[in-house]
Amino acid sequence: MTKETGNKMDFFGGLMEAFKEQRHVDVWLKAGDQTDAIPAHKLILAARSKVFRNILEADDRKASSKETITLSEMTKGELETFLEFMYNGSLPDTKLVQHVHSLYLAAEKYEIPYLQATCRSQIIDSIDSSSAFDVLDLAEIHSDEILEGAVSEFISSNMEEIAFSSKFLSFVESNPALTVQTIRDHFDKLRNE
């Protein structure tokens, strides 16, 4: 490792150290499945998320010395991973893979485009025949055109295998309109080849 790389790691690692050592924390976050709150820094949350900025800058919260914000949609492990991303701007692959769907949802809810793009890339890279319809449903629910385009392309390219899978029938039953659109997209692709 070069001296420049080491300096860069020390520079960016300082935020994570402040988090781990709980230096000058001024807000506590609580997951839906825990009673203990995790200490954090308002400045980091507000800098990374427009939603947190609005929450933390609301007039009625400014006077509070020990604020606790509950993120009921997350488990403790998901919240810890979310905060690690907020401080580091990245995650080890194992943590990203493990929590990618909850992080994707949190990124959308708290308006963190970089985290959403990171999760989207991971989801796209992991699309397979068994997950394709779940990903298509996720893309549709969240109006994610990039994700929808990638999964539609995957489905169209693998239609023969996917159409005979057990997941296809349950997807058709629960999403008839999306199924019709997916099949039309497949035939449009074939026509244009």
pLDDT at 144 over 80: yes
When pLDDT is averaged across residues 6-11 and rounded to a whole number, the result is 53
Which pLDDT tens digit goes with each residue over 24-77? 678 999 998 888 899 998 988 999 999 999 998 874 555 555 788 999 999 999
Fold of 1-91: Potassium Channel Kv1.1; Chain A (3.30.710)
The confidence score (pLDDT) of residue 183 equals: 81
The confidence score (pLDDT) of residue 99 equals: 97
100 vs 17, higher pLDDT: 100
CA angle (57, 60, 64) in 5-degree steps: 85
When pLDDT is averaged across residues 176-190 and rounded to a whole number, the result is 81
The confidence score (pLDDT) of residue 12 equals: 57
Of 10-19, 46-55, 105-114, the one with minimum mean pLDDT is 10-19
CB-based burial, 57-71: b 16+ in 10 Å, e otherwise: eeeeeeeeeebebeb
Break the chain into its structural domains and give their ranges. 1-91
The confidence score (pLDDT) of residue 50 equals: 92
pLDDT at 166 over 90: no
The confidence score (pLDDT) of residue 10 equals: 56
